[in-house]
Structure 1
Amino acid sequence: MIKLTWQYIPFRSDVAFLQIKQTEVTQIPFYITFFYLHVYSAIFVLLAGFTQFNSGLLKKKPVIHRNIGKLYVFTVLFLSAPSGLFIGIFANGGFYSKVSFVTLSVLWFYFTLKGFLTIKNKNITLHKAFMLRSFALTFSAITLRFWKVILVYLFQPSPMDVYQIIAWIGWIPNLLIIEYYLFNQSKK
């Protein structure tokens, strides 16, 4: 993911994924701004999220956990999810891809907000559940690309078909895995 993000340094509007988004770049006000907000902030929350589920860090350095968590929440709520929502409206793959990416952004915002509010109310169990859901959606940045490689390698579908499929399988299985995990934890 860092390598993918690195392609966009310095700011350019004609590199990598943006090469196929030239209509949006040239005709949609602020598209490029929201795109870069999303790319740069999402890589941060992806890296920050990996630190948050380390029980050693949580027990030995709770202040670090709390501060990284606050940065994660702030970044998702004010940068990553809103910019994802905006660029999701213009997603490749047509209506179904757009619905998927917009839904992903709304759920990402919602789960992150609920995770923040539940810890403010000292409900650690719900906080953990909502933050696991939030990070499952954050992690879709990786799983989406993983599925894209697998689908193209195995089936060679058309590019728009790929977008329509990965738009959904990039995040729904992640969320189902977390729900299954939470269900099993609740039975213990």
Structure 2
Amino acid sequence: MVRRNTLKVTKFLALVTLLFFSFLMLRITLPYLSLERDVRFLQIKRAVIDNDGWRTAFFVHVFSSIFLLIAGFTQFFSPLKKRYSAVHKLVGKMYVVILLFISGPAGLIMAFYANGGWTSQLAFVTLSFFWLWTTAKAWLAIRDRDFVSHGEWMIRSFALTLSALTLRAWKFVLVMILHPPPMTLYMIVAWLGWIPNLLLAEWLIRKQYAPRILRG
């Protein structure tokens, strides 16, 4: 009983934290609706801003990732799964399709132009590979009606989706504590933004917390 209550409290605190950073992410994203070339992050991408392929990939990735974050949260929300199973399945399918064919490939294109040189580029290319791979494995598992494996791979996939939030959270923390130079900071968070997520997801699966998480 104590362990179950602890898990519920942990999930609640994690949800509140993630919702807070999701709100911040939304605030960061909204200015890009103008499609202007001098908004926020784009101001430091002058070297590639005129590259139509990169610019298209950027806007596609930014806007589609917001949907993936929202969709991912709903997949672990018990009332939705129980009362509206058809909606749960539809949103899950949209998550997989958009990630595999839209947001994931766009993110991979962006990875090759990441700030911080080859260190950051390698980090984001690796992240893109694992993001696409874990999601493809989740899709293959549900196609074979292996629900347990599907759930575990979805946990891994969403852990990587959350890198959009955790990267910015780590950036905030590191700036507050260490004040590193901008490019050094970028090289650090390029790895720190997703590796702990994946390790935590794997730990939860290995410790058999996955079924409880998936039940909501």
So what's the TM-score if we normalise by structure 1?
0.96
User: Contact (CA 8 Å) 2:104, 2:131: kept in 1 or not?
Assistant: yes
Task: Quickly say closer, same or farther: Cα 1:100–1:117, change in 2 above 3 A.
Answer: same
SS in 2 for 1:103: helix
Give the Å deviation of 1:55: 2.1
CA contact (8 A) 2:124 2:190 kept: yes
Structure 2: gaps of 5 or more residues: 1-24, 212-216
- Following superposition, the deviation at residue 36 of structure 1 comes to 0.2
Q: Distance in 2 between matches of 1:186 and 1:10?
A: 42
Matching residue within 137, 154, 163 for 2:160: 137
CA deviation map 1:63-109 (0-9, x unaligned): 11100001101110011110000001000011111001011111101
- Give 1:71-150 correspondences, 5 Å limit: 71-150=94-173
Select which of 158, 162, 170 maps to 2:193: 170
Identical counterparts, % of pairs: 46
DSSP 3-state at the match of 1:48: helix
Change (3 A) 1:94 1:60: same
- 2-structure distance, mates of 1:187, 1:44: 23
SS in structure 2 opposite 1:7?
helix
The aligned counterpart of 1:25 is 49
Residue 56 (structure 1) shift: 2.2
After the TM superposition, list the runs of 4 or more consecutive aligned residues in structure 1 that deviate by more than 6 angstroms.
Answer: none
Aligned CA RMSD, in angstroms, stands at: 1.4
SS of aligned partner of 1:22 = coil
SS in 1 for 2:48: helix
1:136-169 deviation per Cα after TM superposition (whole angstroms, max 9, x unaligned): 0000000000000111111110111001100001
Cα distance in 2 between the residues matched to 1:106 and 1:29? 23
- Whole-Å separation in 1 of the counterparts to 2:129 and 2:151: 19
Contact 2:167–2:189 under 8 Å retained in 1:
yes
Q: For this pair of structures, how many residues does the alignment match?
A: 187
Query: 2:4 matched to which residue of 1?
Result: none
Which structure 2 residues correspond to residues 11-50 of structure 1 after superposition, within 5 A?
A: 11-26=35-50, 28-50=51-73
Counterpart of 2:82? Answer: 59
Distance 2:26 2:179 in 1: 26
State how far apart, in whole Å, the 1-side matches of 2:176 and 2:84 are: 43
- CA–CA separation in structure 1 for the residues paired with 2:60 and 2:54: 10
| Distance in 2 of aligned mates of 1:187 and 1:61 | 21
Cα distance in 1 for residues equivalent to 2:142 and 2:194: 24
Q: Which amino acid aligns with 1:46?
A: L
Distance in 1 between residues matched to 2:148 and 2:31, nearest whole Å: 39
**TM-score between the two structures when normalised by the length of structure 2:** 0.84
Q: CA deviation at 1:29?
A: 3.6
Query: 1 CA distance for matches of 2:128 and 2:186?
Result: 16
SS at match of 1:23: coil
User: Contact 2:116–2:187 at 8 Å: present in 1 too?
Assistant: yes
Structure 1 residue ranges without an equivalent (≥5): none
